[in-house]
Amino acid sequence: MENTSEGLPVVAIQFAKLKIFRDKVSLQNVMNTTQIFINPDIPEAVELKIGDISSGLDQTGVVPVLGPRAKPTFEEDFIRDNPKSTISSLLGSSEDGIYVVLGIISDLVEGQDWWYPACRCHRIVSADSGAYYCKGCVKHVFHMVPRFKVKFRVRDATGDAIFVVFDSDMFNLIGKQCSDLVSAGKAENAGFYPSELKDLVGTKLLFKVEKSSSTHVLFDGSFRVKRICNDASVMQIFNPSLLQVSTKEIDNKSPESGGLVDDVDDEVVEEEIVEETQLDGFVSDLLVTPETALAPPT
């Protein structure tokens, strides 16, 4: 279809499906049902061309916004929308849900991986047949991207627990990509922690964590961190009396992002993170050449 003297064509689609996949909106036809009309002879098409599409429409209803959801502000996410908790309450509660905890990073969990190999779709991959296999894409891939999965021991005045922090929040905290630290550390993982991670010990933060009794979420009883807040004003509103121990404040090392990086991609790894993946080696530029014919692992 091309632009004509009458302007761009008006396209009307009848009986189609609206799909949202990974926060991208698309239209999908229905076999033997969907119809497409080009410049249909209907009043709505004429009004659309002249710029008046209000007539004939119900203006009393709410028009949904398509596309990615707006990220809540820190105050919405950590003060208004989710319940507060202490670590002891989090450990003792039998009720699953999302909670906000004010705590201090007291240590890194020894002997644990701090990054995992990920596909471009952000799911964990496993080494197979000279390449990597992604269960999400159901195929072998030849590039992997290191992503953060750091286990911190976090404490407050009531107790301590293990919190697992993922890629976007780690970038917010240290201002560096995981791939940079992996390259600098020559792909060392379990038993080795870069200084950038060690420097976080003693930092006071608000953690939005998920408590789930399901064994498939996190296999070792630790809590998955959904989002982190290092805004001192928000922590002050939260209730500083929950934490009566000395702390140090973190410098925002990511001024270009305003201390905020979209964390939607971290959601993808959740169901796969149960499986730990050990790499035999780290290849330059994160590229692997398959040695044999590829077949999906059994």
Which residues are CB-neighbours of 104 under 8 A, at least 6 positions away? 154, 155, 156, 202, 203, 204, 205, 243, 245, 247
**Residues 125, 216: one domain?**
yes
Residue 126 CB-half CA count within 13 A = 13
- Cα gap 163→150, rounded to integer Å: 8
pLDDT per residue rounded down to tens, the chain (298 residues): 555 566 778 888 888 888 776 667 788 888 788 888 888 888 888 888 777 555 555 555 555 555 566 788 999 999 999 999 999 999 988 888 999 999 999 999 998 999 999 998 888 998 887 888 998 888 888 888 999 999 999 999 999 999 999 999 999 999 999 999 998 887 677 678 999 999 999 999 999 999 987 644 444 678 999 999 999 899 989 875 544 444 454 444 433 333 344 444 454 444 443 333 334 333 333 433 334 444 444 4
* Structural domain contains residue 48: yes
**Residues 60, 101: one domain?**
no
**Residues 169, 248: one domain?**
yes
- Cα gap 295→298, rounded to integer Å: 9
**Residues 126, 46: one domain?**
no
User: What confidence score (pLDDT) does residue 213 get?
Assistant: 72
SS3 266: helix
Calculated CA dihedral for residues 87, 251, 82, 225, nearest 10 degrees: -60
State how many domains the chain has.
Answer: 2
Q: Which of 50, 69, 88 is the last residue of a domain?
A: 69
**Rg (the chain; Cα; Å):** 24
Q: Which of 48, 69, 90 is the last residue of a domain?
A: 69
**Residues 107, 223: one domain?**
yes
What range does the domain containing 62 cover?
1-69
Q: Can you read off the two tokens belonging to residue 120?
A: 């471009």
User: What confidence score (pLDDT) does residue 30 get?
Assistant: 82
- For residue 140, give the CATH number of its domain: 2.40.50.140
**Residues 41, 89: one domain?**
no
Q: Can you read off the two tokens belonging to residue 126?
A: 């496993």
